[in-house]
Amino acid sequence: MDVKSEIIYIHPAVRTYRVGIFKLLSKKLNINFFFSQDMSKSNKHISKEVDEILQNTSINYIQAKELRFLPFNEFSFDLLKLLFSSYKVFIFSSITSVPYLLLAPFLKILGKKIILFDELWRYPIEVKKYKIIYPYIRFLSKFCLDSVVTAGSKAKEFYVDELNFDKNKIFVAYNTTVDKNNFIKKTNIINDKKKILYLGRIVKYKGLDLLIKAMKNISQEYDLLVVGDGEFEHECKELVDSLNLDKRVHFMGGCSSDDVHKYYANSDIFVLPTRFKLDDNVQIESWGFTVNEAMSYELPVVTTTAVGSGFDLIIDGETGCLAKAGDIDSLSEKINYIIKSNEDNKIGKKAKEYLEKICNYEDNYIAYEKAIKKALDE
């Protein structure tokens, strides 16, 4: 499909897990990228990651000069200039993003084609600001959208069931990560006991406290490694003390994307215990890339029904286990199932095999190509 630089993809920022698909889109379809968010003032790990990518990338991109003093992200005068550009197809990220909400109706009036990429699979209707704009979002999806690319099957269900969007105009590009498995040699971290790994920000919706409580029902042969930091860390440490688990739960602090591999390689089970938190801006795990990463290391995964990737990557009991969100008994039961059933790491091996089957950048590219063709054919 020869589109001759007529497509622009508006996305907050490029991250390591997006580089593969963005390179393919830039190279094969000559798509230009507009990065709407300034990541220089983000946390140091993310800022460094983005800087390194942009310094060495072959992706065609524009970096917007985001106005940081506003109460919302992704707005810039560069964004408004796109209304007067010659692009014929606009791809946006997220149904609630400022660029999409602001530009979509005007672009439609101008006869442009509009495509949306989204991970969202439950609309945060309980949050006041999102509830207020919900009628507008439904209006945009009905009158402005030409096609949609979703990150997984749950997001596709959301667009069909909640927004009544035509399922024939939805294409799934399963969220994919680069396999950085460099055959890191196993070493003892803290001690020689088997390890359950939690890796991610320590914030309430990710449910670390639930995993800590579940540890009371897990074999003494297993310790818990907590890799990450965040606003909920102090409360979790207090919980560890109150449950007398200080010798079994080890807080390792935050780490860069270059350092996470030693934790995957030296752990036995990965757990992402996310809960539903309906009173917060972030209510669920839209996808959960750490699930991909763990599976690429042949780590058996336990996650929950509040994690998008769980519905696409976890075949319960075969490629990992899916626990009921917010349920400590269900979480410990699934972890214990892995402990008892993972002879010769058969679950971990099946997990990696299944991951590679459905998550790859070439299939992602095909989904985008179909979405673009569908929009242009309408």
SS3 assignment, position 141: helix
The pLDDT of residue 2: 41
Nearest C-alpha neighbor of 49 from the set 22, 19, 24, 76: 19
The amino acid occupying position 117 is F
The pLDDT of residue 134: 97
H helices of the chain, in order, are 16-28, 44-56, 77-81, 98-109, 128-143, 153-161, 208-214, 233-242, 260-265, 289-296, 310-313, 328-341, 346-358, 361-377
Segment 43-52 long-range contacts (CB within 8 Å, at least 24 positions apart): 45/254, 45/255, 45/256, 45/257, 46/15, 48/256, 49/15, 49/16, 49/256, 49/257, 50/13, 50/14, 50/15
What's the CATH number for 194-358? 3.40.50.2000
Backbone angles phi, psi at 14, to 5 degrees: -90, 130
The pLDDT of residue 259: 81
What would the pLDDT profile of 319-373 be if each residue is shown by its tens digit? 999 999 999 999 999 999 999 999 999 999 999 999 999 999 999 999 999 999 9
Going by the DSSP 8-state scheme, the letter that residue 165 receives in this structure is -
| pTM of the predicted structure, to 2 decimals | 0.92
- Crossing angle between the packed helical segments 16-28 and 361-377, to the nearest 10 degrees: 50
Per-residue pLDDT of the chain (378 residues; tens, 9 = 90+): 444 579 999 999 999 899 999 999 999 999 999 999 988 767 677 888 898 899 989 999 999 999 988 888 899 999 999 999 999 999 999 999 999 999 999 999 999 999 999 999 999 999 999 999 999 999 999 999 999 999 999 999 999 999 999 999 999 999 998 765 555 556 667 788 999 999 999 999 999 999 999 999 999 999 999 999 999 999 999 999 999 999 999 999 998 777 888 899 999 999 999 999 998 889 999 999 999 999 999 999 999 999 999 999 999 999 999 999 999 999 999 999 999 999 999 999 999 999 999 999 999 999 999 999 999 997
CB–CB of 304/331 below 8 Å?
yes
Facing residues of 246 across strands? none
CB–CB of 260/231 below 8 Å?
no
Nearest C-alpha neighbor of 338 from the set 214, 161, 226: 214
Q: Give me the architecture of the 7-176+360-377 domain, per CATH.
A: 3-Layer(aba) Sandwich (3.40)
Interatomic CA distance for residues 82 and 149, integer angstroms: 22
Please report, for the chain, the start and end positions of each structural domain, with discontinuous segments joined by +.
7-176+360-377, 194-358
The pLDDT of residue 3: 42
CB–CB of 304/325 below 8 Å?
yes
- DSSP string for 227-259: E---TTHHHHHHHHHHTT-TTTEEEEE---TTT
